[in-house]
Copies of this chain bind each other. A is one copy, B any other.
Amino acid sequence: MRQNAETAERCSIARSLEVLGQKWSVLVLREAILRGRTRFAEFRAELGVAPDVLTDRLARLVEAGILERRPYREAGERERVEYVLTEAGWALKPVLAAISAWGDEYRPSGFGPAAIYTERETGAPVRLAFLDGEGGELDPEDVVAVPGPGATVTA
């Protein structure tokens, strides 16, 4: 994924895609955020990803501040490394939820959703929605994007 300097500069979507634009990065994050995986071998086994690609994705995610490389030691084992989510990493949960919700609706597998987002305490299903300032729910059609301070003036 070569970088196009112009597009990457100011748009937060383009910048986010530097790290989220790769399939395996997102699947690693799925395992980390949704299933609590932290270890190289776990990711490898769950995803079936090639180890060199996994090495690269983990390193990128660490560099992006999404994962943190942390040594650990289990009884009777030597020290090893695990990858734990940072605050920025956990903050991607809504992104995964949004992708997941879209996929469930518009790319159904025929088996029903593989993951359901629920409230931790009650187990009741939750959904993602746009809210106005007072916490009222908005129809997505009534939400528009307007240029902000970082928008390019010329284009």
Contact = CB atoms under 8 A, between A and B. Distances in A.
A contacts with B: majority SS:
mixed
Interface in A101-154: 101-109, 111-121, 123-133, 135, 137-138, 140-152
Tell me the number of copies of this protein.
Answer: 2
B92 A102 contact: yes
B118 A143 contact: yes
18 contacts: A10-B111, A14-B30, A15-B109, A16-B102, A88-B106, A91-B106, A93-B143, A94-B130, A95-B102, A114-B148, A115-B148, A115-B151, A118-B144, A124-B133, A125-B133, A126-B131, A131-B131, A131-B137
Q: Which 7 A-B pairs have the closest CB atoms?
A: A12-B103, A112-B149, A111-B150, A21-B23, A16-B103, A113-B148, A114-B150
